[in-house]
Amino acid sequence: MLFGIEWDTSSHWAFAVSILPILGKGLLVTLQATVVGFLLAAGLGLVLAGLKGMRSRLIAWPARFISEFLRDTPLLVQLFFLYYVLPDYGLVLPAFMTGALALGLQYSAYTSEVYRAGIQSVPAGQLEAARALDLTPGRTFVAIVLPQAIPRIIPALGNYLVSIMKDVPILSVVAVLELLNVARIIGDRSFNYMIPLSMVGLIYLLMTLVAAWAVRKLDERLPKEGIHLQ
Amino acid sequence: MSESDKIIDFQNVTKSYGDHVVLDGLDFSVRRGEKVTIIGPSGSGKSTVLRILMTLEDIQDGVIYVAGKPLWHEEKNGQLIPAGEAHLRMMRKEMGMVFQQFNLFPHMTVMRNVTEAPRQVLGLSRDKAKKRALKYLDLVGMTEHADKFPSQLSGGQQQRVGIARALAMHPNILLFDEPTSALDPELVGEVLQVIEHLASQHDLTILLVTHEMQFARQISDRVCFFDQGKFVEEGSPEQIFTEPREERTQAFLSSFLSEQ
Amino acid sequence: MDILTYSGHLLSGAWVTVQLTLYSSVLGLFFAFVLGVGRVSDNPFVHGLSAGIIEFFRGTSLLVQLFWLYFALPMIGQTLGYDWRFPPMLVGTLALALNIGAYAAEVVRGAIQAVAPEQYEAAKALDFSPRQTMWRIIVPQAVPEMMPSLGNLAIQNLKDTALVSLISLADLAYKAEQLRNFTQDSTTIYSLLLLMYFGMALVVAGLMKLAERYACRWRAGGNT
């Protein structure tokens, strides 16, 4: 039993059905970790993109280095680092938050690139026109650049949301009770790994297909030329 | 012309893209060794005739015979059925094509471009293929460039390699689809020179689609004016260019000449 | 204990990581070409099967795949009467290769579809068979297009190898865990670990850049 729920070992089918609610609890944690991790990644990525784009090399270069470093090192190792090193310096976070933070940091490197690419994709001619019309840099960014950059940024962020979801199982190493961890514990206790793991695989496949469909639908609904402003 | 002379014979051929009919019950034949130029307005379907011959496009109705054998059909128990891939591959060997956009293989050197098909398709050994390639590269004047990549060549040079590449397969019929239309004016001459050489020295059957009227007049045995899916008029170069009979032919030629 | 001693201990793990990255990348590349070309095939069966395999391995988490191959597969074997308990190195290499291969297959597919359609016509005019056309004419032209993305995937694969430490394969991450358990010196060990992975990533990036330059040599201008 797990989470106070017993499973039924009378048949394969009964077993599968009886562990469904248990897996459901794990799925909830997975989804929570995905959302929190994504929000952190989106927010931190914005900060990182801003720092990387600064004219002052004193700020931009270290920012670019950090971004590259986060991209090129494994999430697992970053997670261990945060989990074991932070407490030594007085910062003790619950495992879930440590995991979400690790996800946020790793993917902030990717989202910062998405922001940068999205903004760069706005044709230079747009900036020239804005300057010719004497718009301030602030206004140019908010009213001209951003609305045109968003249709490229949103789908890319959507894809990273899906990637984050697929990386959540790594959090199991710090005992976060997400979907894969729950399945593994069921397997440890019931000696049947095949059914829980296969179910997790299918659940993940289903979630990815739904998420990919949702991203595609969102992409279709966003006007290609930019967010329409009245 | 007698039946045995015909190397190409279109019989009541229809070609359409969905509802849009490009060729409507076309009858057309070419004698072995003849040099035929097809002229006409853009979009009239002239290139389609060549592309059908090269099996790049299929036909919806009619039969085409090449060297006495059906092209898009095969004979089975005395009946004609649509051709399978094996039959098409056999028939393709009769024809070679030179494209408007050259279509050289960019990742291969000039030499490799010319030897690849003889080696892989005809099964020639590396040495035999190389000898054959050098012969044709010499003919088009591109021997010193044998180890260069297409990106290092001018348009005229690339097209000449394209001609050598087609010749290396020893086709009986050579199809030129607007070979100089994509070239800068000063490069057109070197390509026309090669085509003229081919036309005069070899008993190759040549089908040329072009806008180069002067050139067509020089090398052709027969000129055909093609418009709206049909051959409006055909005859000797002198006849077509100096005394066109049909009104549409006259209109086309005069609009063309007024632009010169 | 100091950094030098730590490094010595971690080196054997680093070697396992390098081997794992190499084998899984090569195998993954093989899968990528087979699946990528299959994905653009006219044959509905080949097309569907390739698309299905690609979607399956892209859509499921790598760790899930790894655990399934390591824990669940032996159980299926047991019921069928086979001993399917494979060594972690094999399971790890296979899982990594299948995962990265599925992503790379999409890169291969995109690059193939970017090749100009006129090349197919030129090949047909010279009477190449469809197979000859694909492998001698089209795919070689697609390769330079693929290189930047494949470079990123190679680094991704390197990072993914750290997960095999969770099925008890003695790679770099595993050795580091061992060391930490023994010395409790988390900060030094994990910092060192991060630097080692970063260093390896830079080497991989450098090698891929060289490969890219070689692959692009026939292009006008010389690079992508």
Q: Does C193 touch chain A (CB under 8 A)?
A: yes
Residue A64 CA neighbour count, 13 Å, CB half: 11
Inter-chain contact B105–C118, Cβ cutoff 8 Å? no
Closest CA to C63 of C35, C90, C91: C91
Q: Helices (DSSP H) in chain B: which residue ranges? A: 46-53, 85-92, 110-120, 126-139, 155-167, 185-201, 213-219, 237-242, 247-259
pLDDT tens digits along C78-112: 888 888 888 899 999 999 999 999 999 999 999 99
Spell out the domains of chain A, with CATH numbers in brackets. Answer: 32-178+202-221 (1.10.3720.10)
Would the pLDDT of C39 be above 70?
yes
Q: In chain C, what are the domain boundaries?
A: 19-169
Q: Does C141 touch chain B (CB under 8 A)?
A: yes
- Subunits with 3+ Cβ pairs within 8 Å of C are A, B
pLDDT tens digits along A171-208: 999 989 999 999 989 988 888 888 899 999 999 989 98
User: For domain C19-169, is the CATH number 1.10.3720.10?
Assistant: yes
Q: Does B116 touch chain C (CB under 8 A)?
A: yes
What pLDDT does residue B259 have? 56
pTM: 0.83
Measured between beta carbons, the chain A residues lying within 8 angstroms of C177 are 80
Would the pLDDT of A70 be above 90?
yes
Q: Does C56 touch chain A (CB under 8 A)?
A: yes
Measured between beta carbons, the chain A residues lying within 8 angstroms of C202 are 72
Inter-chain contact B107–C140, Cβ cutoff 8 Å? yes
| Burial (CB count <10 Å: 0-12, 13-18, 19+), residue B52 | buried
Measured between beta carbons, the chain C residues lying within 8 angstroms of B120 are 128, 132, 136
Inter-chain contact A204–C187, Cβ cutoff 8 Å? no
What pLDDT does residue A81 have? 92
What pLDDT does residue B43 have? 76
- Subunits with 3+ Cβ pairs within 8 Å of B are C
Measured between beta carbons, the chain A residues lying within 8 angstroms of C173 are 74, 76-77, 80
Closest CA to C2 of C223, C183, C220, C208: C183
Stretches where chain B sits below pLDDT 50 are none
Task: Report, as an integer, the average pLDDT of A70-92.
Answer: 91
| C-alpha–C-alpha distance, residues C145 and B65, integer Å | 42
Position with higher pLDDT, B203 vs C200: C200
**Residue corresponding to tokens 């899930």:** C64
| C-alpha–C-alpha distance, residues A192 and A198, integer Å | 11
Instruction: Lowest mean pLDDT of B52-66, C30-44, C207-221, name the range.
Output: C207-221
What pLDDT does residue B202 have? 63
Residue type, C179: L
| C-alpha–C-alpha distance, residues B196 and B211, integer Å | 15
Q: Mind telling me how many Å the CA of A183 is from chain C's nearest CA?
A: 10
Q: Does B103 touch chain C (CB under 8 A)?
A: yes
Q: Does C191 touch chain A (CB under 8 A)?
A: yes
Measured between beta carbons, the chain A residues lying within 8 angstroms of C166 are 76, 173
Asked whether A and C share 3 or more beta-carbon pairs under 8 angstroms, the answer is yes
Q: Mind telling me how many Å the CA of A124 is from chain C's nearest CA?
A: 22
Q: In the predicted model, what is the mean pLDDT of chain A?
A: 89
Task: Report, as an integer, the average pLDDT of A136-145.
Answer: 84
Q: Which residues pair with B98 in a beta bridge?
A: B176
